[in-house]
Chain A
């Protein structure tokens, strides 16, 4: 019950912040702009595009727009998570709350749940709107729209959990910068793994696997890409052999069930570490 109280407090606090409204406004602007842009892709030179060509172009541009969402969500999750605990401790607002009969675990879980809810409140409507607008304008729906939203939301949850765990000990700015750097390292590590696959270099492949296990943000992003790739592109890439795997904006297969289970376990473990760390600290 107290978890929900803290979660509700966190959601209300974030919704009342100007940052959320600015982010939402900018996202709607980007959706409007990209939707207009998709409507302009109708010709190759002077001749009209075929439907196959249009789908090929639109689907790949949608992957890039998807990356923007992934990037924005990861940043938002980090900026929301990194000061969530440390900010309350530094400002003193945590003193009055934690002096109540509430456990540190309830406080941390409530904060996490509140930020996750806010991220969902942002991610689900905006990504759904983006996909809806593309469908309305060019009559194209990616093959797995629900999975796309689920994967980039999961990526944000991983970023958030990392930032929250850092927030138990580090100031918001420090934790945020570290989380963002790690997110970037994981992304590059994933690319190194893909290049390794293309070049059949086992060391590079191992680097990719290790980073995707240590910080599964890139693994979830790969899932989101897969969800956006139409069958034709996947078939063409498969025909092209392992070289296609080198494209950082392409994924032919969804993450394995075992990997998804690992991501769930990673989030649970990260939250567990955050609870343990916050329980040990002095306020």
Chain B
């Protein structure tokens, strides 16, 4: 194992004729992190994953996975992948599909039985191991795909919308699996448009829209700016304007809304209002959710 990032992209771009699917993606994903790649449908998320796996060719830029240039066979050696369009040989049993991927992933034959049993147990398909995949529901096929992605203890796992076909229990299970993977030191690249999913499991997030990353960072960095609503009277216009030092102030009659302010500064804000002669009746700090942030970013971009 080398010490570099798990995934690094440098101006990675993809065009399909006149359509720009990915416009110069630059990002670094440290090893051992759960990275959420978030964006609306058609933002370029799946394109990015396909480029990383050499399934599509970049129109520009470059990228490395585990230090190896994308497109080369070596870059896929220690990588597990669950495609968005997951489909496995319907005429095979779940065990046979996993055995096929053990073979393709060049896993030592002696370890197959353990690898397959472990994968089936992790995704909850042990009791259907010998059933034909063609008889599986979509959710079960997605579970199988997740099991396939986990074979051989990969260093990087790319999950493209891994819960799209799952019920709430299945989604919960997948979140638990992702946390377990992180605990085992794996890097998880989670492609999703499900904000709550990303918010619950990801360490870092990139929000992509129209093929461009419009925000990137840890969840704290992205959601650090909160909104505070203060019900106040007897505050002069000048005093209200001075509150701009805390954040963007919106005057809504008796309520003042200050956006983009760290919660730690809340006592200072209240103290300044009182010093200026204001009478405070209520203070309502509101933590900005990823959804709020996501929508505001997309709104700003449009």
Residues of A within 8 A of B (CB): 2, 5, 9, 13, 16-17, 91-93, 95-103, 282-283
Contacts and interface: CB of A to CB of B under 8 A. Distances in A.
Nearest to A283: B55
14 contacts: A13-B89, A95-B81, A96-B88, A98-B54, A99-B54, A99-B55, A99-B76, A100-B101, A101-B74, A101-B106, A102-B73, A102-B104, A282-B56, A283-B55
A103 B74 CA distance: 10
A97 B100 CA distance: 9
Interface string B73-102: 110110101010111110100000000110
Interface string B180-192: 0000000000000
Contacts of B201: none
A96 B86 contact: yes
A95 B85 contact: yes
Nearest to B89: A93
Interface of B: 50, 53-57, 73-74, 76-77, 79, 81, 83, 85-89, 91, 100-101, 103-106, 145, 148
B87 A101 contact: no
Given A2-B104, A95-B81, A101-B104, 4 more contacts: A9-B89, A13-B89, A95-B85, A101-B76
B100 A16 contact: no
Does more than half of chain A's interface fall in helix, strand or loop, or is it mixed? helix
A101 B74 CA distance: 7
B64 to A, nearest CB: 15
Contacts, number: 64
Nearest to A93: B87
Of B57, B88, B103, most buried by chain A (CB within 10 Å of CB) is B103
Contacts of A103: 73
Contacts of B89: 9, 13, 93
B213 to A, nearest CB: 22
Contacts of A96: 81, 83, 86, 88, 101, 145, 148
Nearest to B57: A282
A102 B104 CA distance: 7
A17 B85 CA distance: 23
A2 B73 CA distance: 13
Contact of B83 (A13, A17, A99, A282): A99
A92 B104 contact: no
Contacts of B77: 101
A227 B27 CA distance: 66
Contact of A5 (B56, B57, B103, B145): B103
B55 A98 contact: yes
